[in-house]
Every structure is written in structure tokens, then in C-alpha cells.
Structure 1
Amino acid sequence: MTNAITIDTRGLSCPLPVLLAKKQLRAIAPGALVRILATDPLAPEDFRDFCRVSGCVWVGSREAKDGALEITIRQAEA
């Protein structure tokens, strides 16, 4: 994925990945692609819920090469 901002939440458990991402998203431009790396197996579900309430757009998730989860969202428009 090119031009995506990466937020590394590997090793953190719910609710910390979402809380960390929420804090960092404040400094990210509207519409930007954001890649979140996570090891918490519930992270995709948590980020889908986060997108529903925050206005961010769920793009998808997949397993990264290192076995972590790679979650992609689009920052909410202003």
C-alpha cells in the first residue's frame, strides 16, 4: 500500500489499539489512508465499530507477512 500512514499497535490488547489510533488520527489529514498493524485478534471488529461511530471508512483487513493483522481505514472527511 503506498502513501498510507502506519500506526503500529502490535502487542496491545483491546481497547488500546483503537485508543492509540484515535489519538493519532487527530493529526492525520482528512481522507488519508491509514494502515494499522495489530496482533489483537479482535482488532478488525473493534476498528469496524470505530469506523461506524467516527466517520472513518473501513477499507479492509488482511494478515501481514509477519503474521500481524493489517487493517486499513480512510480518515474521515472534514
Structure 2
Amino acid sequence: MTDAEWQADTCDAELDASGLSCPLPLLKAKLELNRLPSGAVLKVTATDPGSQRDFHAFARLAGHRLLHEEIEGDRFRYWLRKA
């Protein structure tokens, strides 16, 4: 599946990092991505506003693709495609 064909309700794994403070959501996401094959999509839910900065920088530096980001109240959701 290409990035253009991807839909927000599609993911290979989910991680709920709600209630965790920076940098724990990112560290847990990194561990989960390590278990997934290349091309897999991980959906992460976080409540820490600092996660926005962290996930953007992480995707860019690690070579992963941040496919989508949603903000709903105090919930931040990220869909990352593993490089």
C-alpha cells in the first residue's frame, strides 16, 4: 500500500501512550516500531502536547514517514510508517 492509498483507520499496530510524559511516548513508539517490519504503520495515541514536536523530529531524523496527525481535545494521534 502506498502512502497515497493509506487511510487513517488502517494500521498494523497501535500504541496507547496516554498519560505518559515526554519522552516516554516517543520511546515506547520507537520500541514498538523496532518489532514491526519495514513498511508497517503504527498508530500512537498520546496526551503530552510535547509529543507533537517529538514525533515530527523523530520521523524526520529516523527516516520514518509521519502519514497523519490528529488532535482531538487533549488527545494527539500519529500514524507512522516504518522505514
Please give the TM-score of this superposition, normalised by the length of structure 1. Answer: 0.85
Post-superposition Cα deviations, 1:10-30, rounded to whole Å, max 9, x if no partner, equal: 101111111111111111111
Task: Indicate the RMSD between aligned Cα atoms, in angstroms.
Answer: 1.5
Unaligned runs of 5+ in 2: 1-8
SS in 2 for 1:46: helix
Establish whether residue 24 from structure 1 lines up as the match of residue 32 from structure 2: yes
Distance 1:22 1:35 in 2: 12
Unaligned runs of 5+ in 1: none
Distance 1:31 1:50 in 2: 16
Distance 1:59 1:11 in 2: 23
Identity among equivalent pairs (%): 35
SS in 1 for 2:49: coil
Distance 2:82 2:55 in 1: 12
Runs ≥4 in structure 1, deviation > 3 angstroms?
none
Amino acid at match of 1:74: R
SS in 2 for 1:26: helix
- Which residue of 43, 65, 70 corresponds with 2:77? 70
The total of aligned residue pairs comes to 75
Please give the TM-score of this superposition, normalised by the length of structure 2. Answer: 0.80
